[in-house]
Structure 1
Amino acid sequence: MRTHLGEKPFSCSICGKDFNQRQNLKAHMRTHTGEKPFSCSNCSTGFTQKQNLKTHMRIHTGEKPFICSVCGKDFRQRHYFKVHMRTHTGEKPFICSVCGKSFIERQQLKAHMRTHFDKKTYSCSSCNKTFRHLITLKVHIRTHTGEKTFSCLICSKDFTGRQYFKIHMRIHTREKPFSCSECGKRFVIKQTLKVHMRIHTGEKPFSCSECGKSFAINQSLKIHMRTHTGEKPFSCLICGKDFTLRPHFKSHMRTHTGKKPYSCTRCNKRFRHPNCLTVHMRRHPGEKVLSCSVCGERLSSKYQCKKHKCAGENKSSK
C-alpha cells in the first residue's frame, strides 16, 4: 500500500533519503559504508546488491537475455535495451519543463537543465570564462599561471588539478575502474565508458544542424561540421597547405621532415604512411597482412579476402 500512498517511513540517517521498505534502506546504506557483500566467484568484484551481481555474471556467461525485435541486437541489461529501443521508436520520454525539448535518456535531460538553472557565478579575469564552482575556477587559473601543484613521482609529469593527476596515475597502476556491463571492456575514465555505451545502445545524441546526420560523440560532430563550413584549421607553416583533419596534417608534415615512422619487420624498409607499409608487406612471400572479419584468418591480399570462405560465414548464411 505504501507504493500507492507514497508513504516512505524509512529514512537514511546520513543523507536523509526516504524509502518505502526497510530492505531498500538497508541496501542504500551500503553506498555510505562501502560494504559490498555480494562477490563474483570468477573475478572477485564486489557489489552492494544481489541483482547487480546477477547482471555482472552475464559478462562471464555471455548471456544477453534482452533482444531487439527490430535489428536483433542483444543486451545484458534491461536499461540499455530500453534506451536502444528508443532509437527505433523515436521515443524521447524525458522532457524539459522550461523549453519543452525532449531526450532519450534522463542523464541527457539533467545535463540540459543546467543550461537553464545553473548559474556560472565565478569568472576568470584573464579569459572571461565562467564557472559554477570556485574550486573549478581556481584549477582553471593554473592554465594561465602555468602552476602545476600535483606531480607524478614515477614519471615526473605535472598537473594543474588533482583529478587529472588521479586519472594519470591509473596509467602506471593500470587501474581501469569503469567496466562496461555489456561486453566487460574496462576504462580509465567514466566519461569514456559513457561514450562507449553508445556503441551498444546505438544512441547518437549529437546532430548536424545542416544535414541532420547524427554522431555518438561531440568531437565527431565538430569535425563533420567542417565539411559544411569549409574550415581547415591545420595549416602547414612550410608550404601553406591547409587540412581539415589532424592525422592528414601530420601525415603531410612527413613529406617535409622526411620522417618515416613505419618500418617493415622483414627488410627494415621505412615508410611515411601505414597504408604504404601494408602494400609493401604483400611483396614478401607468405606475408599475410589482411584478416577475415568473421574468423580472423590472415590473408595476403584483398582478392584473397573476397575469395575466402570460412565456417563462420557459411553458418551465418544458413
Structure 2
Amino acid sequence: MSSPQKKHRNAKKQCHYCNKEFSSSYTLKNHERVHTGERPYSCDQCGKAFTSVESLNVHKRIHTGAKPHQCQECGSAFLSKGQLKRHYQRYHSGEKPYSCDQCDKAFVTAAELKVHQRVHNGEKPYSCDVCGKTFSTSGHLKTHQRTHTGEKPFSCYQCGKAFSLLGNLKRHFLIHTGEKPYHCDECGKDFTDSGGLTIHKRIHSGEKPYQCRHCEKTFTSLVERNRHERTHTGLKPYRCEECGKTFVLLGSLKVHRNIHTKEKIYPCEQCGKILSRSSSLKHHEQKCK
C-alpha cells in the first residue's frame, strides 16, 4: 500500500492561470512562463530568450547546424524530437484526420487546420505594433517584425554572415558546400536554389513577366525590373562610405571603391558582377553571354 507522502508527491500540479495539469513542479513552472512572459534563458549567440533550458538547447542547434534526431524512414534530420514527430506524421504515417469543410485539404493536426481555414475566412489575428500590418500566423508576424528590428537570428557558422530567415541561411550555406541541386534540363546549368533556376529558365522560354511601371520594358526577374526603374526615378541607394557618392547599382559602387582602395577589380559588362581576376572575368563572361 502506498504511503500518503508518496501519493502527495505523485499528485498532479495545476496551473493557476489555466488549470492545466502537470506531473512535476518543473514542467508546471516552465508552462506558467507562457502566461507570465518570463524568459530567463537567453542565447549567447543572438540574444533570443526562452522559457526553458530545453527550448534554448534546441534553438542553439540553429547556430551550430546540429540535427540529432533522424527519421528512420527517409534519413531526414531535425533539431528536435517534436519536429521529427511532426515530419513522420505528415510524410510517412499517411494520416491526416483534420479535414477542411471549405475545400478538400486535410491536415495532420487541428492547429494546422485552424491556420489553413484563415485562407477562406480572411482572418488575420496577428498585428504588427509598429506598422499595423496583419498576418494569419504568429510566425509570419515574427518574420515581418525583423524588417523593423533588423534582427538576423540565423548565422552561418562558416563565415558568420547572418540572416533574418532560416531558409535564406540554408541557401547561403550552399555557397560553402558547392552544392547546386537545381538543374536546368535545357542547358545543364546548375543552381543553388529553385528561384535561381526559375529565373534562368525564362532565358530559354523568353518569358519576361515583370513590366516596368514607367515604360513598356519587361524583365525576367523582379530584381532586374527594380534596378531598371531607378533609371526613371533617379534613386541611387548605394552610397560610398569614403566620399558620399551614390550609385544606382551595387556593382557601380564596387567599381568606384577601387579609387579609394587601389584594388584591381574586373566588372562584367553583361550583368555587373565584380571579379577579382581578369582570368575569372573571361571565364564568367563566356557563361554570361
After TM superposition, the score normalised by the length of structure 1 is: 0.47
1:150 counterpart residue number? 98
Distance 1:189 1:147, change over 3 A: same
Tell me the amino acid that sits aligned with residue 213 of structure 1: K
2:232 counterpart residue number? 301
2:123 counterpart residue number? 175
The 2-side partners of 1:109 and 1:94 are apart by: 6
Distance 1:139 1:234, change over 3 A: closer
Shift in Å, 1:176: 0.9
2:47 counterpart residue number? 104
2:158 counterpart residue number? 210
Conserved? CA contact 2:42–2:56, under 8 Å: no
1:192-229 deviations in Å (ceiling 9; x for gaps): 22222233333222222222222222222212222222
The 2-side partners of 1:186 and 1:201 are apart by: 17
Distance 1:264 1:228, change over 3 A: closer
Percent identity at matched positions? Answer: 37
1:235 counterpart residue number? 183
2:273 counterpart residue number? none
Distance 1:14 1:230, change over 3 A: closer
1:22 counterpart residue number? none
Shift in Å, 1:257: 4.3
1:249 counterpart residue number? 197
Distance 1:107 1:94, change over 3 A: closer
Q: Is 1:195 matched up with 2:143?
A: yes
Conserved? CA contact 1:152–1:169, under 8 Å: yes
State the secondary structure of the residue aligned to 2:152. Answer: coil
1:12 counterpart residue number? 16
1:102-148 deviations in Å (ceiling 9; x for gaps): 652323875323479xxxxx986523668746x98377334225443
2:169 counterpart residue number? 221
Shift in Å, 1:170: 0.6
Conserved? CA contact 1:94–1:104, under 8 Å: no
Shift in Å, 1:265: 9.4
Shift in Å, 1:260: 5.0
The 2-side partners of 1:140 and 1:232 are apart by: 27
State the secondary structure of the residue aligned to 1:240. Answer: coil
Structure 2 runs not aligned, ≥5 long: 1-14, 22-31, 61-68, 237-289
Conserved? CA contact 1:94–1:102, under 8 Å: no
Conserved? CA contact 2:127–2:134, under 8 Å: yes
Conserved? CA contact 2:208–2:220, under 8 Å: yes
Conserved? CA contact 1:123–1:137, under 8 Å: no
2:10 counterpart residue number? none
Conserved? CA contact 1:103–1:109, under 8 Å: no
Of structures 1 and 2, the one with the larger relative CO (CA 8 A, separation 6+) is: 1
Tell me the amino acid that sits aligned with residue 232 of structure 2: S
1:36-61 deviations in Å (ceiling 9; x for gaps): xxxxxxxxxxxxxxxxxxxxxxxxxx
Matches within 5 A, 1:119-138: 126-127=73-74, 132=81, 137=85
The 2-side partners of 1:221 and 1:214 are apart by: 7
Distance 1:260 1:138, change over 3 A: closer
1:113 counterpart residue number? 57
- How well do the aligned residues superpose, as a CA RMSD in angstroms? 4.5
1:184 counterpart residue number? 132
Tell me the amino acid that sits aligned with residue 12 of structure 1: H
The 2-side partners of 1:148 and 1:246 are apart by: 28
1:46 counterpart residue number? none
Shift in Å, 1:174: 1.1
Distance 1:243 1:268, change over 3 A: same
Structure 1 runs not aligned, ≥5 long: 1-10, 18-27, 32-78, 80-92, 117-121, 283-288, 291-299, 307-318
The 2-side partners of 1:138 and 1:264 are apart by: 43
Distance 1:16 1:172, change over 3 A: closer
